[in-house]
Amino acid sequence: MGLLDVPVSPAPIERFRTVLGEKQYAELLELVGRARQEIGSTVVWNVNSTARGGGVAELLQALIAYSRGAGIDARWLVVDGPPEFFQVTKRLHNELHGSAVDRVKLTDEERAIYLKVSEHNAAALLERMRPGDVVLLHDPQTAGLVAPLVRAGSLVVWRCHIGTDQAGESVRGAWEFLTPLVREADAFVFHRQAFVWPGLDQRRVHLIRPSVDAFSPKNQDISPVAVHGILAAAGVLADGPASEAIYQRLDGTRGRVERRMFVDQEGPLPSDVPVVVQVSRWDALKDPAGVLQAFARAIAPAGDAHLLLGGPDVTAVADDPEGREVLAGCHAIRDELPEDVRARVHLAALPMEDVEENAAMVNALQRYATVVVQKSVAEGFGLTVAEAMWKGRPVVAGRVGGIQEQIEHGRSGILVNPTDLDEFAGAVNGLLGEPRRAARLGQAARERVRREFLGPRHLEDYGALVEELLRERAGAPGR
């Protein structure tokens, strides 16, 4: 049992000048200077459950890089544990999302596994820390670390990236288990007010929305030629200059897409048809099976569009034991489709050996899309939505969770009832049939992300929180 150190190279804050207005950029520089002075030599630790795959890992990669570039000693660790531990935390994850059909209490054995793994991870973390360091813990996998770290003198923030607007019995069951574990934290962070748990000290609750990194391989601007080159090199398109399968890595060096996706398809995507794309983890909450069914039932018969469902290679995401099952279910549905429809469905598992190459593939897929969809039935935030919006893509997404914080319905995207396949298909068909409206939505979407969902705003929120905690600690020693 040991924590995994995730190395992160510093990223220059100055690059934001190219995407922010002068006023916003000046405010960012003022924030950085103040935070550097306030935090000083204090180490800011981030702890989560995986270094790759999923929105939390992507958030941390960017925020830690820019924090380090600003002169703050920010570090990233990943908890360790056996498969049984991650099976328990996945159940808690699903319950907090409200996706569990029934509340099933954890057995004494499951509770013991969770608590024992948490104890080992907390002890390993404390060996590296100094009293007074700041620790940002993320999601149910880290809840058991809160109390030991607080007792050791750390300033502890516990952030929950998941939640639901409708708290049923299963949600309350997860709260019942987790609340006693996290309630001693100095602060709690949620994406939106509807996600806040009633059993927590509301005075210590902070609302911070996630963000995307405009300069990461997943979101950086790339030319149409590079898009075609990347997708051809990855095996999705038949044509495209392989020599142009180029992107810029986080350290500024040039990367080239060389690995191929594992694609279940009759043949490559044609270059002259509209393409509907959803890229997300193979998670039932993202409902890739529902997207596939809606496409077969109502989108494919309405035109010549193709569907591409993409997600990570399920063998490479350690903290999501259900991914294989969800992907297998999609393969089974595709296999049963009529031959002419099956030929227009592409299931792509993206290699994860090089996370930046993987991100470049996602970037190219979203930029190639005519319409990007995210038909989640539950969603903490859904960074894939903001990512597609930043690329100027028209987006159709489920009216759930944090997606509602991103899309202004009818202005910067389309929100639908994710359980209504006909409404979902109708929205997609509407955008496919009205390219001018789709383009207007895409332009408005990019501007909304520039204003609300880029890294500087996120850094400002975190900086204000850490400054507040350090000042409280300095003014009131002891708890």
What are the structural domains, with CATH classification, of the chain? 4-211+455-475 (3.40.50.2000), 271-452 (3.40.50.2000)
The Cα 136–Cα 325 span in angstroms is 32
Number of Cβ within a 10 Å radius of residue 75: 20
The Cα 446–Cα 336 span in angstroms is 38
Task: Report the candidate in 280, 209, 189 with the shortest Cα–Cα distance to residue 454.
Answer: 209
Tens digits of residue pLDDT in 290-326: 999 999 999 999 999 999 999 999 887 655 668 899 9
The Cα 182–Cα 66 span in angstroms is 28
β-strand 134-138 against 187-190: which pairing, if any? Answer: unpaired
- What does the pLDDT read at residue 479? 47
β-strand 262-264 against 345-350: which pairing, if any? Answer: antiparallel
Q: Is the four-CA dihedral 345, 346, 349, 354 of positive or negative sign?
A: negative
DSSP code per residue over 389-407: HHTT--EEEES-TTHHHH-
The Cα 356–Cα 313 span in angstroms is 14
DSSP code per residue over 240-279: S-GGG-EEE-TTS-EEE--S--EEE-SSPBPTTS-EEEEE
CA angle 106, 322, 60 (to 5 degrees): 90
In contact, 382 and 361? CB cutoff 8 Å: no
- What does the pLDDT read at residue 94? 84
The Cα 194–Cα 77 span in angstroms is 29
Number of Cβ within a 10 Å radius of residue 145: 27
User: Exposed, middle or buried by CB within 10 Å (0-12, 13-18, 19+), for 286?
Assistant: buried
What does pTM read for this prediction?
0.85
DSSP code per residue over 283-309: -GGG-HHHHHHHIIIIIGGGSS-EEEE
CA within 13 Å, CB half, 314: 17
User: Exposed, middle or buried by CB within 10 Å (0-12, 13-18, 19+), for 251?
Assistant: exposed
Non-local (6+) Cβ contacts of 346 within 8 A are: 236, 263, 264, 265, 269, 306, 307, 308, 309
The Cα 375–Cα 366 span in angstroms is 15
Tens place of pLDDT for every residue, the chain, 479 residues? Answer: 579 999 998 999 998 998 887 888 898 899 889 888 888 889 999 999 998 767 788 899 999 999 999 999 999 999 999 999 999 998 898 888 876 656 668 899 999 999 999 999 999 999 999 988 999 999 999 999 999 999 999 999 999 998 888 788 888 889 999 999 999 999 999 999 999 999 999 999 999 999 999 999 999 999 999 999 999 999 999 887 878 999 999 888 999 999 999 999 999 999 899 999 999 999 998 999 999 999 999 999 999 999 999 999 988 765 566 889 999 999 999 999 999 999 999 999 999 999 899 999 999 999 999 999 999 998 888 889 999 999 999 999 999 989 999 999 999 999 999 999 999 999 999 999 999 999 999 999 999 999 899 988 898 899 889 989 998 988 855 44
Q: Cα-flanking dihedrals φ and ψ of residue 157, to 5°? A: -115, 125
